[in-house]
Amino acid sequence: GAGGIGQPLSLLMAMDSNVGELCIFDLDVAMVPPAGVAADLGHLERKCSVKGYTMPVGKSPAEYLEECLTGCHLVLVPAGVPRKPGMTRDDLFKTNAGIAKGIVEACAKFCPEAVLGMIVNPVNSVVPAMAELYKKKGLDPMKIVGITTLDVVRANKFVGEIAGKNPNYVNVPVVGGHAGTTILPLFSQDKVAKTIESDKIPDLDKHVQDAGTDVVNAKGGKGSATLSMAYAGARFGKSVLAGLSGRRRVECAYCKSDITDLPYFAQKVVLGEGGIVKLLPLGELNEHETKRLEEAKEQLKGEIETGMKYAETESLA
């Protein structure tokens, strides 16, 4: 939690009135020691206490995170390595699944009832892998949630720009997955977005899909979408905490699902006491969206299989 996403995410979560204690964990090679981030955030005019926890590289989180995770209701996991030039999605998955597994294993041991918000790429494969491992362990796979909120945030912002409206009043559901063609914004289901001329929709759709790459390019290879990801992660985190405290919220999220014929999917979910309490149907899709749904599912299917195969050969300690 002391990296490019972790620091701004910690700042935003520290400002949420539902947060009583904020624990920041990272490796001893983090750009800033977690204890330093905690000391800094500990001076905000907020009621929450902040603590930092460190682990040496190569060690097991389950051996280091008992104090950090015990009593947690929500664990946000911005972890893993970014995709480097020449790296395939499979290479990225193998590395990041191992990293995610260490954290998930520790959560299974010390806070099995907590909601785990995964920001670990490739989300489309990592979430099925970790949810299946949770299920194998006899825990609730619905506690493992892929945070896809940034796709929604971007869709809302881009629609607001085109329509000249405040994006706070735009709410485009984004379904499917969290990479490339699997990202499917349902513009027809938002009152502002559906006023945009239909010939502009394919480009707008692509703009949402490619937005992450646009940020990487704009940063000249010196980073990716960290600040907007932290903003989106905090939006989702705040909704989870609101739900846990009895005020239900609706967000889009990627999780175990029976909404389509795929076993994992991003759709609108109701967040309540215990985390995800209900999955909402996709609703009515127009012709463009119906065609895109098939494309998205085709791509997503293989990415889900990658994750499920991983879980067949692994298990949580």
Q: Catalytic amino acids?
A: 178
Give the Cα-Cα-Cα angle 203, 209, 213 (nearest 5 degrees). Answer: 110
In the DSSP assignment, the letter for residue 280 is: P
What does each C-alpha distance from 294 to 37, 123, 220, 281 come to in angstroms? Answer: 44, 19, 34, 16
In the 8-state DSSP scheme, what is residue 9?
Answer: H
Query: What's the rounded Cα separation, in Å, for the pair 144 and 262?
Result: 17
Dmax over CA atoms of the chain, in Å, equals 56
Which residues, at least 6 apart from 132, have a Cβ–Cβ distance to it below 8 Å?
141, 307, 308, 311, 312
Q: What is the DSSP string of 17-84?
A: TT-SEEEEEEETTSSS-HHHHHHHHTTSSSS-EEEEEEE-TTS-HHHH-HHHHTT-SEEEEE-SPPPP
Cα separation, 140 vs 119, in Å, equals 19
Contact between 42 and 65 under an 8 Å Cβ cutoff? The reply is no
Distance in angstroms between the alpha carbons of the first and the last residue of the chain: 23
Handedness of CA 54, 60, 61, 67 (dihedral sign): negative
